[in-house]
Amino acid sequence: MFCLSIVLAGSGFLIGDGGQAGQVAGSASPPAYRLEAGDQIEIRFFYNPELNEKVDIRPDGKISMPLVGQVQAAGETVESLTSRLTSLYKPILKQAELTVQVRSFVGRKFIVGGDVQRPGVFPLIGSQTVLGAIMEAGGLKSTSKRDRVILVRRSAAGTPETIEISLKRQGTKLPGQALMEIQPYDMVLVDESGVAKANRFVEQNITKMLPVVLTTGFTYLFGGTVIR
């Protein structure tokens, strides 16, 4: 049996006592992408091209590099892995200057849940908007509450933040937030008419998606809580 504790008001989700999701600045810089098992990366050495490698990160999160052996890559940013590799090669090479580039991603995905036609996990290919994400999930239902779509996003600190979005047109135009770009691991939750509390709505939908979030990298939604 799962023991689930979701971090909500006051210690994770920015949802106030009034049930409204706290506004997170849409212009805030997204957190740096963290490498995952299955991603392909290329390591190039400026002065030692014979050591250049193009490798897939293994299921255990490691890569095998010449001269230094096994190196943990999953969970690192490109910048932190570059720094780590540089420090490993400095005692070996005269000029340990290198770059790390991501050649293919496997971890770029997002969830659409709540009152949509086909809730689920979708790959994030290129750019995508909140409205586009909902359309990819089959669109809204007749019971969908268009003035409350909740976007759950991983902050730079690795904790969940929320943005409450309205899809109601303002004259002939959609609200600007409907065209906000989706980031990897975003969760778009479409409210159903009659659901009173934003807190309860978010909690119900994350609980419903539990098998998905445990297997697809969305564990930040639990605020570091151990699930057993």
Q: pLDDT per residue over 179-216, tens digit each?
A: 888 888 888 988 876 554 555 555 665 555 555 554 55
pTM value is: 0.51
Considering the domain delimited by 109-222, tell me its CATH architecture.
Roll (3.10)
Q: Mention the CATH class of domain 40-104.
A: alpha beta
Query: pLDDT per residue over 81-125, tens digit each?
Result: 999 999 999 999 999 999 999 888 776 788 898 888 998 888 787
Q: What is the pLDDT of residue 42?
A: 96
The residues, ordered by sequence, that sit 6+ positions from 25 with a Cβ below 8 Å of its Cβ are: none
Q: Between vectors from CA 20 to CA 18 and to CA 24, what angle results, nearest 5°? A: 135
| Domain segments of the chain as ranges | 40-104, 109-222
Query: pLDDT per residue over 142-164, tens digit each?
Result: 888 888 888 888 877 777 788 88
Q: What is the pLDDT of residue 7?
A: 40
**Percent of the chain clearing pLDDT 90 (strictly above):** 31
Q: What is the pLDDT of residue 194?
A: 56
Q: What is the pLDDT of residue 56?
A: 93
Lowest mean pLDDT among 35-39, 96-100, 223-227: 223-227
Strand order in the sheet with 120-123: 120-123, 109-114, 187-192, 144-154, 160-165
One DSSP character per residue, the chain reads --------TTSSS-B-TTSPBPP--TTSPPPPPB--TT-EEEEEESS-GGG-EEEEPPTTSEEEETTTEEEE-TT-BHHHHHHHHHHHHTTT-SS--EEEEEEE-S--EEEEEESBSS-EEEE--S--BHHHHHHHTT-B-TTEEEEEEEEEEE-TTS-EEEEEE----BTTB--GGGGPBP-TT-EEEEEETT---HHHHHHHHHHHTHHHHHHTT-GGGGTT----
Per the CB < 8 A criterion, the answer to whether 71 and 85 are in contact is yes
- Which residue in this structure is represented by tokens 């949509």? 116
Q: What is the pLDDT of residue 94?
A: 95
